[in-house]
């Protein structure tokens, strides 16, 4: 028998323990990460109990009569232990739908966790979405990834950028200068999209202080220390993910990011277990492909991994 209840603050420690041992959990599901933006969302996460122990959790928030899993996260489906079977996952979604109906929820929007983040196969939820919930795919974004045990040869345009950066004596390495990187990122987003980064500088500083081993900044600079560009890396058990990538106009002209990613891919992380993921290159729920952006990522050897979102009615 399973019991499903809404998450509350008293569950935080047990929640975090489950995330750590789950088949597909990353530090993004740790409550110390999730709750940094608790003021923006009405949390409506769920805890699945089996024989008095937590066997699964579902990060989620509620907006009006819709349940989202979770609007504040890039991905976020059901997290389960290795003992969780397909039959049990189907039962969880059956019981969850009954509970959601009682709560007045009319529909669910579910962002599945891409398979590259799974420590071991963990797509029982996708089967349950079809069998139990009759869910439909409503959006599909595409990311660019590759195995760190099989780093591909860069394209000539990327190698040309590396040569240009070396000629310009650009320096690359890990950095603590988050403010400079955030300013470059913010300036680019403002100029191109009239938008700001999802995370404020203060929020990123908070998250880096909470997860210093998982969140790292790599920067390219001139010999005089002028910041030219960088990337914020999220390290998870199976994936090295670029959360943000950005370069100044001078950095772009001098090939700063090409040299930086050559350093990160071929020196820092090469040979590590798992995948390198450049993140999505799509906009407006996957309906627009940013061809220039994905071309750059494919130049480093990245190939397609989909980030899928499903919806079903209660």
The per-residue pLDDT for range 173-185, each reduced to its tens digit, is: 999 999 999 999 9
pLDDT band at 191 (very low <50, low <70, confident <90, very high): confident
31-76: per-residue pLDDT in tens? 999 999 888 999 999 999 999 899 999 999 999 999 999 999 999 9
CB 240 within 8 A of CB 274: yes
Percentage of residues of the chain with pLDDT beyond 70: 100
235 strand-pairing partners: 240
* Average pLDDT for the chain: 96
Sign (positive or negative) of CA dihedral 100, 103, 108, 113: negative
Angle in degrees, 0-180, between the axes of helices 156-167 and 291-299, rounded to the nearest 10: 80
The answer on pLDDT for 193 being more than 90 is no
The pairs formed by 59-67 with CB atoms below 8 angstroms and a separation of 24 or more are: 59/29, 59/34, 62/105, 65/104, 65/105, 65/106, 65/107, 66/105, 66/106, 66/107, 66/108, 66/109, 67/100, 67/105, 67/107, 67/108, 67/109
247-285: per-residue pLDDT in tens? 999 999 999 999 999 999 999 999 999 999 999 999 999
67-115: per-residue pLDDT in tens? 999 999 999 999 999 999 999 999 999 999 999 999 999 999 999 999 9
Sign (positive or negative) of CA dihedral 251, 254, 256, 258: positive
- Residue 294: what pLDDT? 97
């Amino acid at each position: 028998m399973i019991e499903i209840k809404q998450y509350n603050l008293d569950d935080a420690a047990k929640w975090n323990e489950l995330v750590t041992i789950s088949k597909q959990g990353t530090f993004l599901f740790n409550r110390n990460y999730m709750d940094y933006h608790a003021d923006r969302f009405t949390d409506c996460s769920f805890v699945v109990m089996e024989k008095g122990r937590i066997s699964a959790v579902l990060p989620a928030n509620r907006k009006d009569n819709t349940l989202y899993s979770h609007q504040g996260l890039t991905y976020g489906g059901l997290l389960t232990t290795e003992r969780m079977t397909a039959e049990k996952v189907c039962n969880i979604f059956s019981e969850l739908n009954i509970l959601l109906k009682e709560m007045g929820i009319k529909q669910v929007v579910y962002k599945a966790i891409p398979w590259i983040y799974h420590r071991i196969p963990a797509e029982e939820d996708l089967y349950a979405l079809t069998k139990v919930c009759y869910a439909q795919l409503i959006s599909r974004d595409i990311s660019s990834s590759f195995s760190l045990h099989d780093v591909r040869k860069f394209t000539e345009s990327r190698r040309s950028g590396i040569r240009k950066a070396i000629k310009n004596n650009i320096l690359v390495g890990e950095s603590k200068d988050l403010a400079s990187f955030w300013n470059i990122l913010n300036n680019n987003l403002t100029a191109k999209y009239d938008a700001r980064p999802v995370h404020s500088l203060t929020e990123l500083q908070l998250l880096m202080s909470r997860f210093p081993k998982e969140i790292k900044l790599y920067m390219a600079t001139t010999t005089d220390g002028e910041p030219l560009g960088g990337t914020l890396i999220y390290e998870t058990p199976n994936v090295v993910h670029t959360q943000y990538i950005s370069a100044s106009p001078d950095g772009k002209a001098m090939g700063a990011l090409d040299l930086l990613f050559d350093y990160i891919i071929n020196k820092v992380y090469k040979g590590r277990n798992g995948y390198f993921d450049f993140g999505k290159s799509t906009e407006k729920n996957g309906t627009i492909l940013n061809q220039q952006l994905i071309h750059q990522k494919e130049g480093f050897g990245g190939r397609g991994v989909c980030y899928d979102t499903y919806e079903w009615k209660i």
